[in-house]
Amino acid sequence: MREKIARRAEQEIESGFYVNLGIGMPTLVANYIQSNKQVVLQSENGLLGIGPYPSKEEVDPDLINAGKETVTAIKGASYFDSAESFGMIRGGHVDIAILGGMEVSKSGDLANWMIPGKMIKGMGGAMDLVHGARKIIVIMDHVSKNGDPKIVNECSLPLTGKNVVNRIITDRAVIDVTEKGLKLIEVFEGYTIEDIQQSTEPDLIIEDVNVY
């Protein structure tokens, strides 16, 4: 299911884009970028030009992404310090950021950096990305392990940013955040429009929905 979401998220990336992939599921998107697209992946720990995950023979323990996973670098990749990396992000030079999410609200608020009471390594770069990147795509499961909606009226978890999400891609649907509310764009095979509404807390705008 994670690969299904990653493949759909890849469709959001256009040739010529500079892209940041968040920790976790978003890093899988790198494996599905079509060869005919000229795309440069940026990691906030200081790498511009991330390639696919390495094979055993290609693993370099010093070459990692922001999630501490070993990666490869494409021809022409560049390395730099964290300050310069965040200068790229804050300066609006990243075309699209694909991030994971714990909750997204009906107004596009995102909570994705911590669960109260859980040990975390730090907030990472998500707070900068949601305000610096030109477009924010959130990919996540549609409901929690308990079956509760993750697309909610208001986030209950600590916020990463307010009114920052443009599009949500889940294992069930694609939903846009608009000024009028959440608009259902696509429903994935095996689900109906009614299924999506029942598993989504806010009321959805339903017009010309594509069913995959």
- Tens of pLDDT, residue by residue over 60-82, are 999 998 888 999 999 999 999 98
Question: Three-class SS of residue 118?
Answer: coil
Residue 106 has a pLDDT of 98
Q: Please state the length of the chain.
A: 212
The residue type of 46 is G
Q: What pLDDT, on the 0 to 100 scale, is given for residue 13?
A: 97
* pLDDT recorded at residue 11: 96
Lowest mean pLDDT among 2-11, 119-128, 200-209: 119-128
Q: With residue 82 as reference, give the H or E element that holds it.
A: helix 82-90
- Spatial separation of the C-alpha atoms in residues 204 and 48, rounded to whole Å: 38
Whether 163 shows a pLDDT value over 80: the answer reads: yes
Ramachandran bin of 107, using left for φ above 0, alpha for ψ from -120 to 50, beta for the remaining angles = alpha
Assigned CATH topology for domain 2-211: Glutaconate Coenzyme A-transferase (3.40.1080)
| Cα 170 from Cα 101, distance rounded (Å) | 10
pTM: 0.93
Residue 48's contacts (CB-CB under 8 Å, 6 or more residues apart) are 18, 40, 41, 42, 77, 78, 79, 80, 88
Instruction: Supply the pLDDT for residue 183.
Output: 98
What is the average pLDDT across 8-33?
A: 94
**Does the structure show a pLDDT above 90 at 141?**
yes
How far lies 162's CA from each of 37, 89, 104, 127, 155, in Å? 31, 18, 10, 10, 10
Which residues are marked as active site?
44
Q: Lowest mean pLDDT: which of 111-115, 177-181, 187-191?
A: 111-115
- Are the C-beta atoms of residues 38 and 68 closer than 8 Å to each other? no
